[in-house]
């Protein structure tokens, strides 16, 4: 290999810049306290709970627009706090500031005791209870659902099973066709889809039998594996870059806090998620069964806004956009935003577009 032509003067300049940054970073590290990196700080009140599930209602931040309430539903991989990561990058705050009445369901921290809890329980049990509570509290028969990732699959199933209760549904970064990663086949995108297809159903059964759950730490390592060099450089190169700016550094730490809070996915629900959906692709083929009923996407008759991230390596856009031809409504809108899976919620430009895009769309369907 030929040697790079780095001149001594350049090297000295680069080194001294690096030295300055490290010195500043060390000072920053000393100043930061845990209280500076709080996440999900938007005020809210618990209004219902059952087992480990809690339903919260956010306190309003602006005069109400009088629209049907919105229930945010995150999945079981990661936590809903992503939607309220920090004050200036919060989907929750953006929606509240636009006058929406907002609820969020927190699935809690499932343990091995929840091994036998299924997606049927989450959708037809807990989610149905949450909807019922909100209906009672607001006196509204219909509400809006806002599903995120796996939570979007939950809301999709709910909207198909109980269309009469839903005014409109917003999906964000939600997989519908779990085999559509092969449409674009972009390198580095859709690895989980590919990997799951390389396993046999028995491999998954035995994994869950041995663990009792799909451990959050395991899923975390799968996500890290998808961006290999980013994982390797995260705590040296990226951290050094972040140290140049206190705001950037705090953002880095908040994201780390969210990443570290990854609950275990209940075992039986994980089997359905990985086998029925990732492997057998039952949802898009109208073969997915919940509580003895088949989820038919054509039964979704409410307006649908489907938001996807154009550079989503975890949920490739085609896996989300497959919904368009399957729903039973003409009022179907797609919104492709710049950035990746998480960037849609925390990226400077995308998160602003996301909040206003959702609020405007819902307002027109109030």
Partner 1 sequence: MDPMETMKAMGELWSRGARSFAEAQANMMGAMQTAAGPAPAPDFEAVRAAQTAYTKAWTDAQSVAASFTSSLGAQGDAKGDKDPVAAEVLAKVFDPRGWLSASSEIDAALSRFAEGPQFSDLFQIERKFAVLNTAWSALRRRNLEHNTLMLEAWTRATGVFSKAVNARTEAGQPLESARALMTLWIETANEVLVETQRSDAFLRSQRESLKAATDLRLAQADLAEFYSQMYGYPTRAELDDLHKTVTELRRDLRGLKRKAAASRAKETTP
Q: Cβ of residue 46: shortest distance to partner 1, in angstroms? A: 19
Which of 129, 256, 280, 334 binds partner 1 (CB under 8 A)? It is: 129
Q: Cβ of residue 121: shortest distance to partner 1, in angstroms? A: 6
Is residue 62 a contact point for partner 1 (CB under 8 A)? no
Q: Cβ of residue 73: shortest distance to partner 1, in angstroms? A: 18
- Look up tokens 């500031």; give the residue: 97
Between 46 and 225, name the residue whose CB sits nearer to partner 1: 225
Which of 191, 273, 288, 345 binds partner 1 (CB under 8 A)? It is: 191
Give yes or no for a contact between 155 and 171, defined as CB atoms under 8 angstroms apart. Answer: yes
Between 59 and 235, name the residue whose CB sits nearer to partner 1: 235
Residue 324: name the closest of 337, 311, 333 by CA. Answer: 333
Q: Cβ of residue 57: shortest distance to partner 1, in angstroms? A: 21
- The length of the chain in residues reads 366
Is residue 41 a contact point for partner 1 (CB under 8 A)? no
**Binding marks (x or -) toward partner 1, 214..253, rule CB under 8 A?**
-x-xx-xxx-xx-xxxxxxx--xx--x-------------
C-beta neighbour count of 43 within 10 angstroms: 10
Q: How far is Cα 366 from Cα 361, in angstroms, rounded to an integer? A: 9
Q: How many residues bind partner 1 (CB under 8 A)?
A: 60
Residue 84: name the closest of 99, 101, 102, 69 by CA. Answer: 102
149 belongs to the catalytic site = yes
Q: Cβ of residue 115: shortest distance to partner 1, in angstroms? A: 6
Residues 334, 339, 345, 348: is their CA dihedral positive or negative?
negative
Q: How far is Cα 339 from Cα 128, in angstroms, rounded to an integer? A: 32
Exposed / middle / buried, residue 26 (Cβ in 10 Å: 0-12, 13-18, 19+): exposed
Element (H, E) at 183: helix 181-184
Exposed / middle / buried, residue 239 (Cβ in 10 Å: 0-12, 13-18, 19+): middle
Which of 132, 294, 298, 325 binds partner 1 (CB under 8 A)? It is: 132
Catalytic residue among 130, 149, 157, 302: 149
Q: Cβ of residue 230: shortest distance to partner 1, in angstroms? A: 8
Q: How far is Cα 290 from Cα 279, in angstroms, rounded to an integer? A: 17
- Which residues, numbered 264-323, are part of the site for partner 1 (CB under 8 A)? none
* Strand partners for 306: 171, 334
Is residue 113 a contact point for partner 1 (CB under 8 A)? yes
Which chain residues interact with partner 1 by CB under 8 A?
Answer: 1-8, 10-12, 14-15, 18-19, 22, 51, 112-117, 121, 125, 128-129, 132, 187-188, 191, 194-195, 198-199, 203, 206-207, 209-212, 215, 217-218, 220-222, 224-225, 227-233, 236-237, 240
Q: Tell me which residues are annotated as active site.
A: 149
């Amino acid at each position: 290999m030929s040697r790079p032509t780095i001149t001594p003067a350049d090297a000295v300049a680069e080194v001294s810049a690096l030295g300055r940054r490290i010195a500043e970073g060390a000072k920053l590290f000393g100043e930061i306290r845990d209280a500076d990196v709080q996440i999900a700080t938007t005020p809210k009140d618990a209004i219902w709970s059952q087992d480990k599930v809690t339903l919260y209602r956010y306190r309003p931040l602006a005069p109400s627009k009088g629209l049907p309430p919105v229930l945010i539903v995150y999945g079981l991989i990661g936590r809903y706090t992503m939607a309220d990561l920090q004050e200036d990058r919060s989907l929750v705050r953006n929606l509240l500031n636009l006058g929406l009445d907002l609820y969020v369901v927190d699935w809690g921290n499932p343990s091995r005791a929840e091994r036998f809890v299924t997606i049927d329980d989450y959708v037809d049990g807990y989610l149905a209870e949450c909807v019922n509570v909100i209906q009672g509290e607001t006196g509204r028969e219909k509400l809006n659902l806002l599903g995120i990732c796996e939570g979007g699959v939950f809301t999709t199933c709910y909207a198909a099973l109980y269309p009469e209760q839903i005014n409109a549904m917003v999906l964000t970064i939600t997989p519908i066709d779990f085999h559509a990663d092969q449409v674009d086949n972009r390198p580095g995108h859709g690895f989980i889809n590919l990997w799951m297809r390389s396993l046999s159903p028995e491999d998954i059964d035995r994994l869950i039998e041995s663990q009792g759950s799909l451990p959050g730490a395991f899923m975390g390592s799968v996500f890290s594996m998808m961006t290999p060099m980013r994982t390797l450089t995260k705590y040296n190169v990226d951290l050094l870059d972040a140290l140049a700016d206190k705001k950037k550094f705090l953002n880095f730490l908040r994201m780390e806090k969210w990443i570290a809070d990854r609950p275990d996915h209940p075992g039986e629900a994980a089997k359905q998620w990985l086998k029925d959906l990732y492997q057998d692709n039952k949802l898009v083929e109208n073969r997915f069964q919940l509580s003895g009923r088949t989820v038919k996407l054509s039964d979704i008759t409410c307006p649908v806004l489907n938001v996807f991230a154009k550079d989503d390596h975890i949920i490739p856009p085609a896996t989300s956009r497959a919904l368009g031809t399957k729903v039973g409504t003409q009022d179907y809108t797609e919104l492709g935003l710049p950035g990746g899976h998480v960037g849609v919620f925390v990226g400077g430009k995308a998160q602003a577009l996301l909040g206003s895009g959702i609020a405007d769309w819902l307002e027109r369907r109030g």
